[in-house]
Chains A and B, each alone.
Chain A
Amino acid sequence: MKKWGKYLVAMIVVLFVGSNLFLLLKEDSKAARTVNINDWTFVDQGDVKKLLYTTGVTKPETETHVYFDDQKGSLDKILVKEGDVVKNGTPLFSYNSQRLEEKKADLEDEQGRLQGEMDSIDQEISSLQQIETTGTPDATSTTSDDQKVKVDVDVDTSAIVNGNVQQKIAEAEAEKGKLNAALTTNEAKISRVEEQLADLTVKSAVDGQIVKINADLKAPIMTIASTASVVKAVVSAKQVGEIAEGQTVKLSSTLMKKTYKGTVSQVITYPNKEKKDKKADPTYSFLVKINDEAAKDGKQTEENPKSEATTDSSLKIQNQADQSNDGKTFGTSDLDNQTTNEQTQANQMPTVDDNKPLLIGTNMKLQVTVAEATNTPVIDSKSILKNGKKQYVYQFTDKGIVQKQAVTLGVVFKGKNQVLKGLQANDVIVVDQDAISLTAPSNFITPLKTTSIQNKEFKKMTQSQQAKYILMGLFED
């Protein structure tokens, strides 16, 4: 063959292969493809929990402030000290009673005076009645101590005398009524003062612990922290929207080595405090009510944050939580130390530890279940192909075709996706969407995965089935 002939053949070959490649690879190619797929998986039926990790600090559920009322008198003495555990009704402090006692004495004097007047009027009335009944011209002049009550008895004629006497009696009766009223008022005043005297001792209205006493009478004079505790946790602005009341929370304390269950009781959508760095996003807090102690389970460690992103964010939150702790009114750090000390003691006696109540100020790790889907098809994020707003997976059909299947996703957390629509459990999909490129539904082939001979499976097949697959290998091209 001459040289130019060789070149001609080579050129024709290159041109032919080139144009074939072009026709194959161009968009909307009509050429059928057979996709080589290494990894595929059956869609699992399972649960997806969207968890949010953060840290928090236990604090009293409520803080009751007790105020000093200087209208009631001066402070007599404080009956409790900081740290005391009080119950509903425990006396806290008392007012000085001197002023009220004086007032009570005054009122009692008044009472005595009024009573005396009352008695004399009664006497008068009875004597007047005597005059009226006997009618004896007995010139009697009765003058009571009181200037107002002056009964002059003039006995000229019995008729006139009788009329006058009756008038005087009526007058005396009226006076008696007035006195009676004044007496009742005074009695009421006395009882009120007595009440106030009894009320001079201020009692606690709640169960809890005295956490602060202002002996200098600054308001509030006392702060009582309730025995029931909640956990105040911090979340970033990005995450606060996901937290809602009623969500379940798993709490664990590194010190106590115990896990607790709780629910979100309140979300505080007001930012925690002004940030020095204005660029930093504000943080928000939420309260978790601890319901009971959760049983220790092995899954605990499994659910710990693994991905770096999550760890980073939780670290950030940790710092913020620490900052907000510093701002607390009562000595968190002191309490922390206390906890540490007690913990070290507890470590020596681990059996005692179990029933110890959760101390205020304990740092807690929180795992909030912000969304949950159970018994649902679950797929891995790797399998999902995003095209604009739509999401697809590569699904195998029972006709040996691999095709794009649109899916609607629900709860998404750490690579696990709940499938709402588009797939069912036990559907087969491609594990990694990056591994293949698919322009249209295509045939697919899969490599042999095992080297071990599947004797069990061979036995399950009939001989004709076995022959079928051998013949496929032998004759199909």
Chain B
Amino acid sequence: MTLNVNPIKGILKPKAYRTELQEAKDYSHYKLNILLFFLLSIGVYVISATLGIGTESLSSELSSISNHALEARKQLFLIGRLLQGLLIPCVLIFGTALYYFAFINGDFKKLVIVQLIVFSIFLIEKIIQIPLFLLLNIDETSNIFSLGIIAQYLTHSKVIIHFLGELTLFRIAMLIYSYYYLSRIVEVRKKVLLVAVGILFLLYWVFVSFMSYIKIGFFF
């Protein structure tokens, strides 16, 4: 059976797609989808950086440097964001698939196809964030899909706020979809799978929250 790789269908019709994926021996549009998602990722990150999202750290220099110097810094920032747009799908698609492949077995291609679904959820979140952040004048910590706002009402601790700010509905959905698909793709006990997925997401969460909390300028 040939599976037509379509991550959007994977999000919208998970039951049918999971069955198809489980029985599939061959895959069409596999490489195309990977390429497409890489390009889409880079595009989203570049657009978001061009619009200034994430440039808070640069703002503090605005009053002391010329407009041209600021533009130059933003352009360097944009290069960094472009690399991030390249790095994130690498990690989320291949890195994660490799992690599952290493620890809980399964067919690597199938794992990649699952990760394409998870990554598309991630990308949808990123795309939604662009107008949302600009229109509501918010950043990651006050993301309305995250626990960040509630955290700010409960505590003043920046660390906690950043941690809860990174815990969004989309990330939870990513976790649920990962578990839902993997439960049929890999043949391990459900508890083991849950622990494996849980540990990975916890690592991601900690890393992303840490990155959101620290300022690179601190190291220079």
Interface residues of A (CB under 8 A from B): 1, 13, 16-17, 19-21, 23-25, 30-36, 40, 396-400, 427-428, 436-437, 442-450, 453-454, 456-458, 460-461, 464-466, 468-477
- Other than the given A17-B145, A460-B72, 19 more pairs (CB < 8 A) read A23-B150, A24-B136, A33-B138, A396-B63, A398-B63, A437-B137, A445-B59, A446-B58, A448-B74, A448-B75, A454-B71, A457-B71, A458-B76, A469-B80, A473-B76, A473-B83, A474-B83, A475-B211, A475-B216
Known: A396-B59, A454-B75. A474 touches B208 (CB 8 A): no
Residues of A within 8 A of B220 (CB): 464-465, 468
Determine if A470 and B144 form an interchain contact, defined as CB atoms under 8 angstroms apart.
no
Closest to B59 in A: A400
Residues of B within 8 A of A442 (CB): 137
Q: Is B191 interfacial (CB 8 A cutoff)?
A: no
9 contacts between A and B (CB under 8 A): A13-B169, A20-B149, A31-B141, A34-B137, A400-B62, A454-B71, A457-B68, A474-B87, A476-B215
Q: Scoring B residues 63 to 102 as 1 if CB is less than 8 Å from chain A, else 0, what string do you get?
A: 1100111111111111111111001000000000000000
Q: Is B115 interfacial (CB 8 A cutoff)?
A: no
Known: A445-B59, A449-B71, A477-B54. A34 touches B150 (CB 8 A): no
Give, as a whole number of angstroms, the nearest-CB distance from B35 to chain A. Answer: 22
Closest to A459 in B: B72
Determine if B79 and A473 form an interchain contact, defined as CB atoms under 8 angstroms apart.
yes
Q: Is B20 interfacial (CB 8 A cutoff)?
A: no
Determine if A398 and B77 form an interchain contact, defined as CB atoms under 8 angstroms apart.
no
Closest to A400 in B: B60
Q: Is B49 interfacial (CB 8 A cutoff)?
A: yes
Known: A468-B216, A469-B77. A32 touches B83 (CB 8 A): no
Residues of A within 8 A of B149 (CB): 20, 23-24, 31
Residues of A within 8 A of B142 (CB): 24, 31-34
Residues of B within 8 A of A398 (CB): 60, 63-64
Determine if B59 and A444 form an interchain contact, defined as CB atoms under 8 angstroms apart.
yes
Q: B141 contacts which of A16, A32, A427, A436 (Cβ < 8 Å)? A: A32
Determine if B137 and A436 form an interchain contact, defined as CB atoms under 8 angstroms apart.
yes
Determine if B68 and A445 form an interchain contact, defined as CB atoms under 8 angstroms apart.
no
Q: Scoring B residues 192 to 220 as 1 if CB is less than 8 Å from chain A, else 0, what string do you get?
A: 00000000000000001001101111011
Interface residues of B (CB under 8 A from A): 15, 49-64, 67-84, 87, 133-134, 136-142, 144-146, 148-150, 152-153, 166, 169, 208, 211-212, 214-217, 219-220
Residues of B within 8 A of A25 (CB): 136
Q: Report the Cα distance A25→B145, complex, angstroms.
A: 14
Q: Report the Cα distance A464→B219, complex, angstroms.
A: 11
Determine if B67 and A445 form an interchain contact, defined as CB atoms under 8 angstroms apart.
no
Determine if B217 and A468 form an interchain contact, defined as CB atoms under 8 angstroms apart.
yes
Determine if B50 and A448 form an interchain contact, defined as CB atoms under 8 angstroms apart.
yes
Residues of B within 8 A of A458 (CB): 72, 76
Residues of A within 8 A of B54 (CB): 445, 473, 476-477
Residues of A within 8 A of B70 (CB): 446
List 6 A-B pairs, minimum CB-CB distance, nearest first: A473-B80, A400-B60, A457-B72, A469-B76, A454-B72, A400-B59
Residues of B within 8 A of A17 (CB): 144-145, 169
Residues of B within 8 A of A449 (CB): 67, 71
By secondary structure, the B interface counts as helix
Q: Report the Cα distance A468→B72, complex, angstroms.
A: 12
Closest to A473 in B: B80
Determine if B52 and A447 form an interchain contact, defined as CB atoms under 8 angstroms apart.
yes
Determine if B56 and A469 form an interchain contact, defined as CB atoms under 8 angstroms apart.
no
Q: Report the Cα distance A477→B61, complex, angstroms.
A: 18
Residues of B within 8 A of A400 (CB): 56-62
Q: Report the Cα distance A175→B62, complex, angstroms.
A: 114
Q: Report the Cα distance A405→B217, complex, angstroms.
A: 27
Determine if B80 and A427 form an interchain contact, defined as CB atoms under 8 angstroms apart.
no
Q: Report the Cα distance A24→B142, complex, angstroms.
A: 7
Residues of B within 8 A of A474 (CB): 80-81, 83-84, 87
Determine if A471 and B59 form an interchain contact, defined as CB atoms under 8 angstroms apart.
no
Known: A36-B52, A474-B80. A31 touches B59 (CB 8 A): no
Residues of B within 8 A of A444 (CB): 56, 59
Determine if A23 and B153 form an interchain contact, defined as CB atoms under 8 angstroms apart.
yes
Determine if A476 and B144 form an interchain contact, defined as CB atoms under 8 angstroms apart.
no
Q: Report the Cα distance A194→B152, complex, angstroms.
A: 109
Q: Report the Cα distance A35→B114, complex, angstroms.
A: 37
Residue in A25, A446, A471, A472 with the greatest tally of chain B CB atoms within 10 Å: A472
Determine if B212 and A476 form an interchain contact, defined as CB atoms under 8 angstroms apart.
yes
Closest to A13 in B: B169
Known: A473-B79, A476-B216. A34 touches B139 (CB 8 A): yes
Determine if A446 and B80 form an interchain contact, defined as CB atoms under 8 angstroms apart.
no
Residues of A within 8 A of B212 (CB): 476-477
Residue in A19, A21, A24 with the greatest tally of chain B CB atoms within 10 Å: A24
Give, as a whole number of angstroms, the nearest-CB distance from B2 to chain A. Answer: 27
Determine if B56 and A443 form an interchain contact, defined as CB atoms under 8 angstroms apart.
yes
Q: Report the Cα distance A58→B39, complex, angstroms.
A: 75
Determine if B137 and A33 form an interchain contact, defined as CB atoms under 8 angstroms apart.
yes
Known: A31-B138, A428-B62. A450 touches B49 (CB 8 A): no
Residue in A447, A471, A476 with the greatest tally of chain B CB atoms within 10 Å: A476
Residues of A within 8 A of B169 (CB): 13, 16-17
Q: Report the Cα distance A398→B65, complex, angstroms.
A: 10
Q: B216 contacts which of A21, A35, A461, A471 (Cβ < 8 Å)? A: A471
Known: A34-B56, A36-B137, A448-B52. A472 touches B77 (CB 8 A): yes
Q: Report the Cα distance A251→B137, complex, angstroms.
A: 51
Residue in A21, A450, A453, A469 with the greatest tally of chain B CB atoms within 10 Å: A469
Q: Report the Cα distance A444→B67, complex, angstroms.
A: 16
Known: A36-B52, A398-B60, A448-B74. A472 touches B150 (CB 8 A): no
Q: Report the Cα distance A284→B184, complex, angstroms.
A: 93
